[in-house]
Structure 1
Amino acid sequence: MLPSLDSLRCFVAAARLLNFRAAARAVALSPAALGQRIRELEEGMGASLFRRSTRSVSLTQAGLAFLPAAERCLEAARDCVRAARGETGPPPMEITIGTRHELGMSWILPQLDKLSEAFPTLDVSLYFGSGADLLLRVRSLEIDCAVTSSRITDPKLDAARLHREDYVFVGSRALLKERPLSREAHAEGHTLLDDSRDLPLFRYWRDAPGGGDRLRFKKIVCLGGIGAIRARVLSGAGVAVLPVYLVERDLAARTLRPIFPEVTPLHDWFRLVFRADDSKRSVYEGLAARFLEVPLV
C-alpha cells in the first residue's frame, strides 16, 4: 500500500528538524499524532526510518535513502496542484500529424514555424500517407492525429472540422482540344484517372445533381494520390476530378479546363482527426483553430 501524502509530510518535517515536537508544530499536529503517522509509515515500509532515544533523533540508513524520494513525491504533488490551478505552463509534448503529401508540403509544412510560436512546448512531426492509411494509423495510435477529407465511420475516431474542400472535373487544354468531352458519348475516348477503384474522387461529380452514372470511359487508371493524378492530367494522359485548391493556378493559366461546368461537384471538408478517447483533445482543438486561420493553398 502506498503511503499517504500526509504521512510523507510528517516524515519529511521530522527528518529535517530531527525533533518530533518541533516537527509536530510544523505540520499542525500533536506530538502523539505525528508519532502515530511515523509508526504507520514505518510499518507500511517494513523498515525503521528513525533512531529515537530520550536525548536525540536521527535517521536510519533506510530513512536517509527514503528522504529524497519523499521530498520529490511531495514536490510532484505540489506540481499537480499548481498545474490544476493553471499556475504552470503546459508540459512539453510531441505529436505527429499525418497528411497527404501534397497538402502537407503546400499547406501544413509552411505553418510549422508559426505553430511553434503559438505552441512553444509542442514539437510537431509530420507523417505523409493516404487517406485510409492515415485513419488506420490514428486508430492504432501510430500517429496522434491527421488532416484528411476521408469520411469517418469509425466510432473510435473524432474530428475537428477545418476548411471546405471543393472539387472540379478537369482535363488538359491540349487533350480536350484534340478530343472534346462535352457529350456523354465522348467519354468512350477518354481515360479516367482516380485514386483507387472505388473512384473516391470521381464520385464527387457522379453523385452531384446533374452528374450521374452516365459516362462510360475507355478505361480507368488508379494512381494512388492526387499529386500523381494532377501530373498525369496536365500531361494529357486522362481526365479527373481534383480539389480546386490543387488546380486553381492551372485553371487560371488555362492549362486545365473544366469539363461539364454546368455540374457542380459535391464538396467535402478537411478535418483534423484524432482518437475519441485521446486525452490531448484540447491540444488538437487548438491546432484546428490555428489551421482555420490559414487558407488552403
Structure 2
Amino acid sequence: MDLPAIESLRCFVAAAERLNFRAAAKVVGLTPAALSQRIRVLEEQLGAGLFQRTTRSVQLTPAGLALLPRARACLGEAAACVRAARGEGAPAPVELTLGTRFELGMSWIVPMLPGLRAALPQLTMHLFFGSGHEITERLRAGLIECAVTSTQIHDLRLVGARLHEERYALVAAPGLLRRRPLTRPEEAAGHVLLDIDAGLPLYRYFSEAEGAPTLPRFAGHRWLGLGAAVKAMVLAGEGVAVLPEYMIAAELRLRRLRRLFPRVVLRADYFRLVYRGDDPRAEIYGALAGLLAAAPIR
C-alpha cells in the first residue's frame, strides 16, 4: 500500500479547512493549479473523491470528511517526529522492566515508585523480583532492560552505575548466644549456618574478609532462598548468618541481634543499576541512577 505524502495531506487539510483552493494555495506556498494537482494525485492514490467543486462552492465529500481528522492527526504526529528528533518538546514515552531482589524491591524501590513517576513522567517502570542469578540471566537474554543488584557480573556487554555501598554483618540472636556462645572459631560446631543457597552467597562476605577467622565446621547448614527468610530464622534463634546491614539496622540497634566477631570488617559490595551497553536509552538510565543514588537504602 502506497502511503500518501505528507505534503499532499497538508494541501488537503488547508483546502478542507478553508473550502477555497486559492486561499489554501497561499497558505501552503503553491499556485492554485499546483494545489489542485496535489489534491488530484491524492484522490487517485486513495481511490476516492475528496471535494465536490462547482463554480460557486467547494464542499467535502463523505470521504473527505472521514479523512480530515485523520489527516490532521497524521500532520501532528509528523511534527512531533521532527521535535523528538531535535530533542524538543516532551520526552518520548519509555517502558522498561527493572529486576531486583524481593527484599530490596519491597523495602526501597516500591516505596520510591510514586516519586520516580513524578520525576520521570515519561517512564513506565515494571518490576521483576528474583535471585541475583535469575536477574542476571534475564538481563543477558533481554527479558528485562535493567537491574538493581550487588551481584558480581563479569559480562562486558553489561554496564553499571554505582548507587549505594552495601555492608554486611555476621549476626545471631542474643538468646541463642547465651545458650551457645560463638566467640572462638571452634564454637562454630555448635551452630547452624543459614544462607540463601549452597553457594553461600552471603557467608562469603565474612569468609573472604581480610583477617576473618576460619570457622572450621558448623553443626549444619540451611538454605532458605531469600534474605528475608534468613533474617526471620536468625531472629527466631535457628542459626547464625551474614545479612546486609540495611536489613538488620533496627534489630542491631534494639539488640535483637548481635554482631559476631565484631572486629572483622566484612567485605563490602555496591548496589548498581546494570543495563546493556548497547541500549540506546542510556540517558534515561542515567537519570534513574541519579534518583536511586539520592534515596537512602532501607
User: Where do residues 70-81 of structure 1 align in structure 2 (5 Å cutoff)?
Assistant: 70-81=71-82
User: Normalising by structure 1, what TM-score?
Assistant: 0.82
Do the aligned partners of 2:188 and 2:215 also contact (CA within 8 Å) in 1?
no
Q: Secondary structure at the match of 2:171?
A: strand
Contact 2:185 2:213 in 1 (8 A): no
Distance 1:86 1:163 in 2: 31
Matching residue of 2:194 = 193
Q: Which residue of 1 aligns with 2:65?
A: 64
Aligned to 2:265, what secondary structure does the other structure show?
Answer: coil
Moved more, 89-98 or 170-179: 89-98
CA distance in 2, matches of 1:63, 1:212: 84
Deviations 1:248-268 (A, max 9, x none): 233333333323334322211
Please tell me whether the aligned partners of residues 231 and 243 of structure 2 are also in contact (alpha carbons under 8 angstroms): yes
Change (3 A) 1:102 1:11: same
Q: What residue in structure 1 maps to residue 176 of structure 2?
A: 175
Secondary structure of 1:283's counterpart equals: helix
Aligned to 1:114: 115
Partner of residue 220, structure 2: 219
Closer/same/farther in 2, CA of residues 38 and 154 from structure 1, 3 Å limit: farther
Moved more, 186-195 or 45-54: 45-54
Displacement, 1:166? 0.9
The gaps in structure 2 that reach 5 residues or longer are none
Partner of 1:132: 133
Structure-2 change in CA distance of 1:211 and 1:46 (3 Å): farther
CA distance in 2, matches of 1:61, 1:251: 76
What's 1:259 paired with? 260
> How many pairs were matched up?
297
C-alpha distance 50-114 of structure 1, shift in aligned 2 (>3 A): closer
Q: Which moved more, 1:247-256 or 1:216-225?
A: 247-256
Q: 1:34 maps to which residue?
A: 35
Moved more, 203-212 or 116-125: 116-125
Q: Which residue of 2 aligns with 1:10?
A: 11
Tell me: CA distance 1:59–1:114, structure 2 relative to 1, closer, same or farther (3 Å): closer
| Distance in 2 between residues matched to 1:211 and 1:26, nearest whole Å | 81
Q: 1:275 to 1:44 in 2, by over 3 A?
A: farther
> Percent sequence identity over matched residues?
53
Secondary structure of 2:148 counterpart: strand
Query: What 5-or-longer segments of structure 1 have no aligned partner?
Result: none
Q: Whole-Å Cα distance in 2 between the matches of residues 135 and 17 of structure 1?
A: 59
Q: Select between 219-228 and 113-122 the one with higher mean Cα deviation.
A: 113-122
**Equivalent-residue separation in structure 2 for 1:285 and 1:69 (angstroms):** 37
CA pair 64-202 structure 1, distance change in 2 beyond 3 A: same
Alignment CA distance shift 1:63-1:281 (3 Å): same
Which whole-Å deviations, capped at 9, do the CAs of 1:171-203 have from their partners, x for residues lacking one? 223333433333333333322111111111112
**CA distances 1:41-94 after superposition (whole Å, capped 9, x unpaired):** 234334443445666544444333222211111122233344556664446666
TM-score, L = length of structure 2 = 0.82
Q: Which residue identity lines up with residue 114 of structure 1 in the other structure?
A: G
Cα distance in structure 2, aligned partners of 1:42 and 1:157: 52
1:270-285 alignment, distance < 5 Å: 270-276=271-277, 278=279, 280-285=281-286
Pairwise CA RMSD = 3.2
CA distance in 2, matches of 1:254, 1:63: 78
